[in-house]
């Protein structure tokens, strides 16, 4: 495996995923999917419910295994890697703001866990003054006043605040790939806008390879450099470059018809 900050390329080669894999009840969710995510790219993934978006993220994160095909990270097949091994390279933000944090731990303790993710078990990171100052400095980026509340339990914050510091935790060590699974869907409009803008800022600042699943069509226009559209497990549209810049909401709506 190359060091972090290397090529960070993700390749999906002829990926298939089926459930109830024997008998007449077999359901094929993904079919012969080929996709490459280049280092530093920011891709938005669209599709109707049941199109295979969440399954694709689960395959990348390791919570599900592909029925066919290979998933490569920096040229190495990670298809058999368990979730905890992938977590050193692949971070994920969930739709539910509570899933990205340990609600019973303080904000500071959650940040310590983020700092330790993917590090050697021999490495010790405490919560002393130096680390507290680093946490406060990073929290100031969020412009939410959280830097003065680092000893407060994470579960006591609002959904928007939890999603914001979940983003900070996920990007703490600059993962090879950041998966964003509808991170604003459970938030009120104001919080959703704030979290979306923070995600775009952190991804750009750290040049993180990112894949965003969303139902908000505006995100496909405002974020990233590439838009993918899945239908029934097949990649029907792959738009990037000048074509992506020329996309309109009406163009995208036609994909769903």
Band (pLDDT 50/70/90 cuts) for residue 122 is very low
Q: How many domains does the structure of the chain reveal?
A: 1
* Confidence band of 115 (pLDDT split at 50, 70, 90): confident
Beta bridge partner(s), residue 235: 230
Domain that holds residue 224: 10-105+158-256
Cα 161 to the center of its chain, rounded Å:
17
Structural domain contains residue 92? yes
Strands (E) across the chain are located at: 10-19, 27-37, 42-47, 68-73, 76-77, 90-93, 177-181, 210-213, 226-231, 234-240
With CA atoms as reference, report the closest residue to 154 among 197, 196, 112: 112
Q: What letter does residue 3 receive in the DSSP assignment?
A: P
Confidence band, pLDDT 50/70/90 cuts, at residue 118:
low
Lowest mean pLDDT among 6-10, 160-164, 185-189, 221-225: 6-10
Helix (H) or strand (E) holding 54: helix 53-61
- With pLDDT > 70 as the criterion, what percentage of the chain qualifies? 91
In a domain, 171, yes or no: yes
Structure tokens at 41: 């790219």
In a domain, 133, yes or no: no
CATH number at residue 191: 3.40.50.300
226-242 per-position pLDDT tens digit: 999 999 999 999 999 99
In a domain, 229, yes or no: yes
**Residues 16-43: tens digit of each pLDDT:** 998 876 666 677 889 899 999 999 999 9
Average pLDDT of 216-223? 94
Whether the pLDDT of residue 4 is over 60: the answer is no
Q: Using pLDDT thresholds of 50, 70 and 90, give the confidence band for residue 1.
A: very low
Q: What is the mean pLDDT of residues 121-143?
A: 80
- Report in angstroms the alpha-carbon separations of 50 from 46, 57, 199, 231, 242: 11, 13, 25, 8, 29
Alpha-helical regions (H) of 92-230 = 107-116, 129-140, 159-170, 189-206, 217-222
Cβ-Cβ contacts under 8 Å for 193 (sequence gap 6 or more): 184
Each residue of 74-99: pLDDT tens digit? 999 999 999 989 988 999 999 998 88
- Is-contact 191 163, C-beta < 8 A? yes
Please check whether residue 206 lies inside any domain of the structure. Answer: yes
Does residue 135 fall inside a structural domain? no
Residue 161 class from Cβ within 10 Å (0-12 exposed, 13-18 middle, 19+ buried)? buried
pTM: 0.90
Q: Looking at the domain assignment, is residue 167 inside a domain?
A: yes
Task: Give the pLDDT confidence of 154-179 residue by residue, as tens digits.
Answer: 999 999 999 999 999 999 989 999 99
């Amino acid at each position: 495996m190359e060091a972090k900050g290397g090529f960070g390329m993700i390749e999906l080669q002829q990926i298939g995923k089926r459930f109830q894999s024997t008998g007449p009840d077999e359901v094929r969710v993904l079919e012969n999917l080929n996709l490459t995510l280049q280092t530093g790219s920011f891709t938005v993934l669209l599709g109707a419910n049941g199109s295979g978006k969440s399954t694709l993220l689960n395959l990348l994160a390791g919570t599900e295994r592909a029925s066919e095909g290979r998933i490569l990270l920096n040229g190495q097949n990670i298809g058999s890697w368990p979730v905890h091994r992938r977590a050193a390279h692949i971070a994920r933000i969930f739709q539910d703001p509570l899933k990205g944090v340990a609600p019973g731990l303080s904000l500071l303790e959650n940040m310590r866990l983020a700092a330790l993710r993917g590090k050697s078990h021999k490495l010790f990171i405490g919560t002393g003054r130096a680390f507290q100052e680093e946490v406060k400095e990073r929290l100031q980026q969020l412009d939410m006043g959280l830097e003065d509340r680092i000893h407060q339990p994470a579960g006591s914050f609002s959904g928007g605040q939890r999603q914001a510091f979940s983003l900070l935790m996920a990007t703490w060590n600059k993962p090879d790939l950041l998966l964003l699974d509808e991170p604003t869907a459970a938030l009120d409009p104001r919080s959703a806008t704030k979290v979306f803008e923070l995600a775009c800022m952190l991804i750009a600042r750290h040049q993180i390879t990112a894949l965003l699943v969303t139902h908000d069509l505006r995100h496909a226009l405002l974020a990233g450099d590439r838009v993918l559209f899945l239908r029934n497990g097949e990649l029907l549209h792959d738009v990037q470059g000048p074509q992506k810049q020329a996309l309109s909401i009406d163009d995208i709506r036609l994909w769903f018809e």
